[in-house]
Structure 1
Amino acid sequence: MEDIILLLTNIVSIIVLNIFITNIFQSISKNNELKNELQLYEQQAKIQYEYYTSLESKYENSRKIVHDVKNHLQTIENLYEINEHEKAEQYTEDIYKIFDKLGQKYYTTNKVLNIIINDKMQRAENFNISLDCKIGDVNIEFIKDIDVTTIFSNLLDNAIECAKDTFENKVIFLRIDKFNDFIVINITNALEKPPIKDNGNFKSTKKNHNGIGLQNIKRALEKYEGNMRIEYDEKAFKVNIVIPNN
């Protein structure tokens, strides 16, 4: 009888211990999810902050240009009066270029995505990378802003990281369009060397970076039953995403 009681006590203890350990693992898992989600919100907030800071800077610069516009017009007029037509045309072209830089480009009706593209466009230009972006008549309002940030920020950041190390074809192609009942996202960038894979996952080449960008994209896509396919060769890295347009 004592042995049976001891055995039952051990069994109950093991069950209680298993439940306790399971609860600990669930708590750790939930904590990691919350930590990851917090990082994503911080990423989104940082992008929006930098975007509006950039807007403020451009607004101040535009005020300076407008303040001097009378002088610029006078200079152009004087150049024409002395028959310096080429210099006048070049001066006019330079003014146009300044105004182009001050303006914010409009790519899509989705405010968050428009902010992200403008932000990444500026970052790409800093590395002499051309970001060729074409967006069709698509509605992605059903995707939460935090997931829009996760998907497109990571896609473009990864593409810029790859393209900046190339010596030729420093260009990134971003295409978003609708096909039947699906939204199709394609992004392609040039490669200087093949990506590194570890246990089937792509490994980041960035210092002090754990390469969780693509994993976060996959998690975000799962919420909308979307899927991602990656292809690459010696010259290009391509990501294709398909999301049902419910």
Structure 2
Amino acid sequence: MENDLLSVSRLFFCGIDVYMLYRFLVAIFPEKWKGKKRIIFSIVIGLMIFLINSARNPLLNLFTVPLVLYMYTVLSFRISLSNGVAYTIIYFSIFGAGKEVFFELLYHMLSNILPFYIPPWFTAGGIYFLLIEYLVGFLFLLYIEKFIKKIKISNSNSFSWYLLMVPVLSLLICITFLYIDFPDSLIVQIVMCIGVFLLFFTNAMVFIILERYTNVMNKIKYAELYNVKRDMENEHFQNILKVNEHYQHYIHDMNVYFNSFRMLAVKGEDKKIVEIIDELKGKIQEEISGVIYSGNPVLNAILSERVSIAKEKGIQLSLFIESFLKVDFISDADMISMFGNLLDNAIEAAEKCDLESRKVDVRLFMGNNYFLVLHIENSYAVSAKRTGSRLLSTKRDSKHHGLGVGIVMNLAEKYGGTLSLEERTDLFITTLTISACVRQENANFGI
């Protein structure tokens, strides 16, 4: 039986393997390079797989081809090493060994039913049946591709390893079928092939279910954030009404004040006039101070709420908000997550200090025309716990806290910026820098 593993057609199928892996990954992760570099590297990977297949050793294929595919994954895409392992195994389990096992069983059954011989895949005659196998695999990839494109997967995600369960278990079950005696009963053969196909198809269902779950969770998050924004806008509107009401009261009483000043001036009570003016000025400042910080209703609501919380907790909160800030490029949801989390962390840390030492200094300004900077300095009494570069919560229920910093880091990366955390002797410094030039999808809610 002639070995056809070194033919041009086999090289073509190795190239298809690499292309299918590319299609699978590019639907999830961004590429590191495009154009000629990607094409050349893909050809090199295809040649490596071609040479491995030419050895005609199933065990060598099983252990070395995934390593080559993993190398292609981590070098071609912006993906973490751990996620690279997970998604390479997922691809190989579905479109590599998984697909081959299914068709091996199917051709075995058809050879017993049909009156013609189906040659092995590595011979010249098997090339046509291999073409069918790859065509079905590619169509299967196109089917699940439309679902995985809708799933936004972060490099920090750990659920990728949970996705491994179904593909790997399916692959193990299918492989065991190859090492058991093929049953004589046609009905049992058909049931076995149907079972293997269903296992093969179940791998796609994982991505379909995940896409549906992500869609539902996004709708829930959308509804929650819409309610938060609506409440914030209402609070902002009420604050404006409150300020206007106070001004109207003072304007209404202005004639009374002027008449009083005139009478006191006639009597030479200059000191009394100064006392009344100072008292009036103090009342106005006390009632309207801290109400309007920004023309952006969401940002203003975030700041107003934290100022109120700091006042209740006896924290000296100083605020500098630069005029004409560029914040419209930030979605409402991201603004709440970034600014809200960092301000909450600073207030919670300062609250643990002695009453006279509770201080938070907040500065929000444009570093230049291209960068927005949120700089927070706060006192603290308890040092932050760390695991590597990640900060952990100092609260007792730390399992459900301490997630805010990670959220802000991911969002800072999304906006082409950075989050810097510095712990000094008596001061904790947080600096969030984000690019005002990064174009994001509009995630604002409601008009």
Supply the distance in 1 between the matched residues of 2:307 and 2:272 (Cα, whole angstroms).
Answer: 31
- 1:163-178 counterparts in 2 under 5 A? 163-166=350-353, 167=355, 168-178=357-367
CA displacement at 1:92 relative to structure 2: 0.6
Please give the TM-score of this superposition, normalised by the length of structure 1.
0.76
CA displacement at 1:188 relative to structure 2: 1.9
- 1:171 counterpart letter in structure 2: V
Q: Which residue of 2 aligns with 1:203?
A: 393
- 1:153-172 counterparts in 2 under 5 A? 153-166=340-353, 167=355, 168-172=357-361
Distance 1:188 1:4, change over 3 A: farther
Determine if contact 1:135/1:177 at 8 Å carries over to the other structure.
yes
Supply the distance in 2 between the matched residues of 1:206 and 1:43 (Cα, whole angstroms).
Answer: 27
Secondary structure at the residue paired with 2:367? strand
Supply the distance in 1 between the matched residues of 2:279 and 2:431 (Cα, whole angstroms).
Answer: 39
Q: Which protein has the bigger helix share?
A: 2
Secondary structure at the residue paired with 1:143? coil
Q: Which residue of 2 aligns with 1:191?
A: 380
Q: Structure 2 stretches of 5 or more lacking a match?
A: 1-181, 438-447
State which of 292, 303, 312 in structure 2 corresponds to 1:117: 303
Supply the distance in 2 between the matched residues of 1:146 and 1:119 (Cα, whole angstroms).
Answer: 16
State which of 324, 328, 332 in structure 2 corresponds to 1:145: 332
Tell me how large the CA RMSD over aligned residues is: 3.6
CA displacement at 1:212 relative to structure 2: 4.4
Q: Confirm or deny that 1:47 pairs with 2:232.
A: yes
1:17-39 per-position Cα deviation (integer Å, ceiling 9, x unaligned): 33333432333233334333433
Question: How much identity, in percent, do the aligned residues show?
Answer: 20
Q: Which protein has the bigger strand share?
A: 1
Tell me the matched-pair count. 246
Supply the distance in 1 between the matched residues of 2:226 and 2:416 (Cα, whole angstroms).
Answer: 22
- 1:8-19 counterparts in 2 under 5 A? 8-19=193-204
Supply the distance in 2 between the matched residues of 1:150 and 1:61 (Cα, whole angstroms).
Answer: 33
Q: Which residue of 2 aligns with 1:72?
A: 257
Determine if contact 1:194/1:233 at 8 Å carries over to the other structure.
no
Supply the distance in 2 between the matched residues of 1:46 and 1:206 (Cα, whole angstroms).
Answer: 31
Distance 1:33 1:219, change over 3 A: farther
Supply the distance in 2 between the matched residues of 1:50 and 1:108 (Cα, whole angstroms).
Answer: 13
CA displacement at 1:78 relative to structure 2: 4.2
State which of 299, 318, 323 in structure 2 corresponds to 1:131: 318
Greater alpha carbon shift after TM alignment, 111-120 vs 222-231? 111-120
Supply the distance in 2 between the matched residues of 1:206 and 1:30 (Cα, whole angstroms).
Answer: 33
Supply the distance in 2 between the matched residues of 1:214 and 1:39 (Cα, whole angstroms).
Answer: 21
Supply the distance in 2 between the matched residues of 1:179 and 1:130 (Cα, whole angstroms).
Answer: 25
CA displacement at 1:50 relative to structure 2: 1.5
- 1:235 counterpart letter in structure 2: D
Supply the distance in 2 between the matched residues of 1:124 and 1:244 (Cα, whole angstroms).
Answer: 29
Q: Structure 1 stretches of 5 or more lacking a match?
A: none
Q: Confirm or deny that 1:229 pairs with 2:416.
A: no
Supply the distance in 1 between the matched residues of 2:296 and 2:396 (Cα, whole angstroms).
Answer: 30
Secondary structure at the residue paired with 1:242? strand
1:146-190 per-position Cα deviation (integer Å, ceiling 9, x unaligned): 333332233323323333443214232223222474333322222
Determine if contact 1:137/1:178 at 8 Å carries over to the other structure.
no
CA displacement at 1:43 relative to structure 2: 2.4
Using CA pairs below 8 Å that are at least 6 residues apart, which structure has the higher relative contact order? 1
